Amino acid sequence: MLRAEIGLFLVMAFIAYFYFSAEKKHSLLHETFSALLVAVLIHLVLDGITVYTVNHLDTVPRLFNGIVHRLFISSMVLVIFLFYQYISILVAEETGKPRKLDLAGRIFLVGGILGSLLLPMEYTQTPIGNYSSGPYMLMCYAAVAFYLVLCACLMLENWQNIDKKKKSVIGAALLIEFTITSLQGYQHAWLVSCIGITLMTLSFYLTLENPDILRAELTEQKMSMLYLKSQVNPHFLYNTLDTIRIQAQLDGDKKVADLLMQLVDFFRLSVKVDRPIVDLDEEMELLEAYMELMCYRYPELECEYDIDPELGSAQVPNFILQPIVENSLLHGLKNKGYRGKVSIRAARTRDGDLEVCVRDTGSGFAEVRKSAIDRMLQNYAKEPPKLTGNSIGILNVQKRIKLLCGKKYGLWYTENPEGGVTAHILLPLEEEMQWKN
């Protein structure tokens, strides 16, 4: 019987090791999950100890047996409380509503622990194994029932506002716990409660708390902080630029006025990051403003567009083309003194996806660099969220495409036979897509 407890403990210890060594955002949700993992580990240890002591009633001192049993039941109440707390924070994050049921949850926690420490207990011996019983035992059933009801209330009240994936995870976890507790209640000697708790923790770990997701969250947060830092009141910026533009035009300098107009457009469009997904047309507008400015700075730079007009309203992740083109300019064409051409082509592939190609006539990759870039783009998920260096732009594009569109899509580079490289971006092509993750 003890084998199951040891096995489950090892599984949870393994998961805890992964979880604690992963870099993650500091948030109440993750801290609650960390606390939950610790509590589950302690609970499993106590479970293992009690399974042994309850079956050796004559050799183990009665007082010791009583203490570990009471601790075991209180740890179970605590674990179930933490599950409830985790789910309530998850729901609150999703809906933005305050957590109203928390007070009830905490009062019950105190009552439950006091009950399991103080209420009378006894032991029942059966041919298939012994178990502890008595009023104190009821506390863990009461805790499961009480917190499951609280969670169910949370779910029902916010049904419309919870993401589908989270809904199914919470639902599955509640169902598992309910089933296992019913089995435990049906046959006390089976001592299966630890399985339910482990499975419940596992289901959250695998879906919402695994290192991949944590890392993506962290990158997103760092990027947005970086963005906020650069956002020195954009209205001030482009209003001032606009004033300068008008002065230039009043002074008869049409060229400067036009350039400033492009710059204002570029800022205005790039500040619009509130939507993660935009029309291809909007993305092209930003790119054109950028290219026009670059072509003015480097007159021997040429730019060519070939966009299938039917694809104008295709939905694409925002801000993906400009970093790719910037990369082509800085790593390909710069080495040729900014002499050359960038061609941007968007077309429907045979499989009905959208492919955008950015082809340059630059110096191409050095042998080592090509394989380094390929490797980086292939292992995008394992790349640490670097915030400096040359490749952050394209790595970030790759990560966002994978995150928003799915693993099938993404970015890769090929070398052109006549020199230079082509960046290929493969995106799904659906007019009205459900972009909620």
**Positions in the binding site for another protein (CB under 8 A):** 235, 238-239, 242-243, 245-247, 249-250, 261, 264-265, 268, 272, 279, 281-282, 309-310, 312-313
Q: What is the smallest separation between the CB atom of 253 and another protein, expressed in angstroms?
A: 12
Indicate the residue among 35 and 347 with the shorter CB distance to another protein. Answer: 347
Q: What is the smallest separation between the CB atom of 342 and another protein, expressed in angstroms?
A: 24
Burial 176-199 (b: 16+ CB within 10 A, else e): bbeebbeebeeebbbbbbbbbbbb
Indicate the residue among 248 and 404 with the shorter CB distance to another protein. Answer: 248
C-alpha separations of 26 from 84, 217, 273 in Å: 20, 10, 24
Indicate the residue among 19 and 319 with the shorter CB distance to another protein. Answer: 319
Indicate the residue among 233 and 379 with the shorter CB distance to another protein. Answer: 233
Q: What is the smallest separation between the CB atom of 241 and another protein, expressed in angstroms?
A: 8
Q: What is the smallest separation between the CB atom of 162 and another protein, expressed in angstroms?
A: 18
CA–CA distance, 250 with 261 (Å, rounded to integer): 14
Q: Copy the structure tokens of residue 84.
A: 């409830």
Indicate the residue among 238 and 380 with the shorter CB distance to another protein. Answer: 238
Per the DSSP assignment, residues forming a β-bridge with 303 are 342
CB 144 within 8 A of CB 177: yes
Indicate the residue among 267 and 412 with the shorter CB distance to another protein. Answer: 267
Helix (H) or strand (E) holding 278: strand 277-279
Phi, then psi, of 318 in degrees rounded to 5: -75, 150
Q: What is the smallest separation between the CB atom of 312 and another protein, expressed in angstroms?
A: 6
Q: Copy the structure tokens of residue 274.
A: 């509130």
C-alpha dihedral (40, 43, 44, 50), degrees to nearest 10: -170
Q: What is the smallest separation between the CB atom of 348 and another protein, expressed in angstroms?
A: 15
Among candidate residues 155, 67, 174, 74, the one with its CA nearest the CA of residue 115: 74
Q: What is the smallest separation between the CB atom of 269 and another protein, expressed in angstroms?
A: 9
Q: What is the smallest separation between the CB atom of 299 and another protein, expressed in angstroms?
A: 24
Binning the chain into helix, strand and coil, the percentages to the nearest 5 are: 65, 10, 25
Indicate the residue among 243 and 416 with the shorter CB distance to another protein. Answer: 243
Radius of gyration of the chain (CA): 30
Q: Copy the structure tokens of residue 37.
A: 């993992």
Among candidate residues 238, 293, 244, the one with its CA nearest the CA of residue 267: 238
Among candidate residues 104, 28, 116, the one with its CA nearest the CA of residue 73: 116
Indicate the residue among 247 and 416 with the shorter CB distance to another protein. Answer: 247
Phi, then psi, of 434 in degrees rounded to 5: -85, 100
